[in-house]
Amino acid sequence: MTNNNNLVASRRALLKKGAALAAGMGTLMVTGQAQAKANCTPAPQKFDEVFDIIVVGSGFAGMSAAVQAAEEGAKVLVIDKMPVFGGNSTINGGAMAVAGSELQAKEGVNDSIELMVSDMLKSGRGMNDVNMLKLVCNGTSESAKWLESYGTVWKPFVQHFGGHSVPRVLQTRESSGAGIIRPLIKAAEKIGVTMYKQTKLESFIQDDDQRVIGVNVKSQYFFPKERTGSQRTLGARKGVIMATGGFGRDIDFRQMQQPKLTSELDSTNHPGATAGALKQMMLIGANPIHLDQIQLGPWSSPDEKGFGTASQFNTAATYQNGIVVDARTGERFFNELADRKARADAIMTRRDEQGKPVYPIGLTNAKGAAKAQTLAWGMKYDVIKKADTLEQLAKEYGIPADKLKAQVAQWNQFVRDGEDKQFGRPLMQAFELTEGPWYAVRMWPKVHYCMGGVRVNTQSEVLHLVSDKPIAGLYAAGEATGGIHGASRLGACAVAEGVVTGRNAARSAAAASAISLKQA
């Protein structure tokens, strides 16, 4: 038995004693049972360890919060329940929407914070929290530079992702969020941030004024084995920052809100993307916003698991520089640069008479695929197929060849005319598809992002359901929060949100008054 377990045992004994004493007071207890209420466990007098700020989660929001808080002089701990740091952020595409970047200026793209806000509001169907949205968009340019200062390297060109009215996406050299997370972890270690893996938040510790003063955790926890790990108490003199992401892989929880998102629908998320931390916040009064707004990524393939190779290929190649067609007709059926919800909804209409998916085909040529870093891998795993001619490509997927050729010809005419007369796709970076070789993938959406989460104010304080005032000591950032994106997040806006709100939460927590906590 560890010291920690000793403490737990001793606390249990005291609780029992306390309950017995309370029972002795007669009028206070109905049943006289010895067990204390789960949500009424008194705070420990001494914590196993005490920090200024505890950050829960180590993705974009968590690592940005940790480094920013340390910059502000706070003693910081980051915990993550998984055996590796980074969560979904290391397996995402590392693309960050930035309004008014130097790269945009260099390429002659006119952009503004107002335009980015307006694009996100449109995609969010007006359900967005406008104040939070402005805070994020306002912070993108400065935060992109802040990331650079810690070692992130952006590709030397700006990209045009779906739903954005102009090209405004920066992407890490690696086409991966690891190009952001790795430098931040290095910075955190250098600046003295403590980081614990396999340490799972169990519940919050609140004082008698309901202020969050720490967390009960399980250390040496092996996800997803709930019986592993040992109890520890961690104190937070200034606050706890929840950067705990979404619940895309929590199949039970997501199905309560969206019954159609069954286990048969794949997800791009890592296995740890569950609702546990969200539930703990809700249990102490956090206000859940838009929990049923769950985004399906429109760029994934049914021919591989998870994020895979198709997602980057489609984002950088077919959606920007190619077309997507119905496999039965060879015809386009939506604006390939619409927002994610519009695209995913469109794709999922392609079904046979029994309702089974008829996977649409995304295609482009060698010029269109030039910036797709996952091309070789995708071909290796037979997810992306190559064909020298459109006829061969059509044959590969059972598309009527004459119709496919006619569709490509029509597309090229739209590009020459400067107008997509069918679906109104923006053509700023479009070019004609004139020659092979051709590359293509089968497409079907996967669960990707939770727009929903807890309600926060512009200080990143978590607001209480009843009072709509901050729950003292509790902050949240990134995907764990709800409302910024409304009904549908635009691509590359999760990195923007995570970094900007993570740093925002850190500044708020660092500026909070510290309370005195004792360490065992």
Q: 261 or 493, CB closer to a copy of itself? A: 261
Written as six digits, the tokens of 362 are: 């995304």
Written as six digits, the tokens of 395 are: 């044959």
Q: 288 or 436, CB closer to a copy of itself? A: 288
Q: 410 or 457, CB closer to a copy of itself? A: 457
Q: How far is the CB of 274 from a copy of itself (least distance, A)?
A: 12
The SS3 assignment for 170 reads strand
Closest CA to 96 of 20, 35, 43, 172: 172
Contact 482, 246 (CB under 8 A): no
Q: How far is the CB of 224 from a copy of itself (least distance, A)?
A: 15
455 assigned to active site: no
Q: What is the DSSP string of 11-37?
A: HHHHHHHHHHHHHHTSTT-SS--SPPP
Rounded Cα distance between 215 and 205, Å, is 5
CA 148, distance to chain mean position in Å, is 21
The SS3 assignment for 311 reads helix
Residues at the site binding a copy of itself, with contacts judged by CB under 8 A:
10-11, 14-15, 17-18, 21-22, 25-31, 33, 35-40, 42-46, 126-130, 206-210, 213, 252, 256-260, 279, 282-283, 285, 287-293, 455, 465-466, 468, 483, 517
The CA-based diameter of the chain, rounded to the nearest angstrom, is 88
Written as six digits, the tokens of 47 are: 């914590």
Q: 287 or 301, CB closer to a copy of itself? A: 287
- Are β-strands 288-289 and 461-463 bridged in parallel, bridged antiparallel, or unpaired? unpaired
Q: How far is the CB of 69 from a copy of itself (least distance, A)?
A: 23
**Strands, E assignment, 27-67:** 46-47, 49-56
Q: How far is the CB of 94 from a copy of itself (least distance, A)?
A: 30
Q: 213 or 493, CB closer to a copy of itself? A: 213
Q: 1 or 40, CB closer to a copy of itself? A: 40
Contact 492, 312 (CB under 8 A): no
Q: How far is the CB of 17 from a copy of itself (least distance, A)?
A: 7
Rounded Cα distance between 512 and 58, Å, is 22
Q: How far is the CB of 46 from a copy of itself (least distance, A)?
A: 8
468: left (phi over 0), alpha (psi -120 to 50) or beta: left
Q: What is the DSSP string of 185-197?
A: HHHHHHHT-EEES
Q: 318 or 501, CB closer to a copy of itself? A: 501
Q: 22 or 427, CB closer to a copy of itself? A: 22
Rounded Cα distance between 514 and 214, Å, is 12
Q: How far is the CB of 300 from a copy of itself (least distance, A)?
A: 21
Q: 283 or 428, CB closer to a copy of itself? A: 283
The SS3 assignment for 104 reads helix
Catalytic residue among 168, 182, 254, 340: 340
146: left (phi over 0), alpha (psi -120 to 50) or beta: alpha
Contact 59, 303 (CB under 8 A): no
Q: What separation in angstroms does the CA of 383 have from each of 20, 267, 282, 303, 310?
A: 65, 17, 41, 6, 7
Q: How far is the CB of 37 from a copy of itself (least distance, A)?
A: 6
Q: 17 or 395, CB closer to a copy of itself? A: 17
What value does the CA radius of gyration of the chain take, rounded to a whole number of Å?
Answer: 25
Q: How far is the CB of 213 from a copy of itself (least distance, A)?
A: 7
Q: How far is the CB of 217 from a copy of itself (least distance, A)?
A: 17
Alpha helices in 299-427 (DSSP H): 310-313, 319-321, 340-347, 375-380, 390-397, 401-417
- Are β-strands 212-219 and 230-242 bridged in parallel, bridged antiparallel, or unpaired? antiparallel
- Are β-strands 76-79 and 49-56 bridged in parallel, bridged antiparallel, or unpaired? parallel
Rounded Cα distance between 105 and 306, Å, is 35
Q: Which residues are catalytic?
A: 340
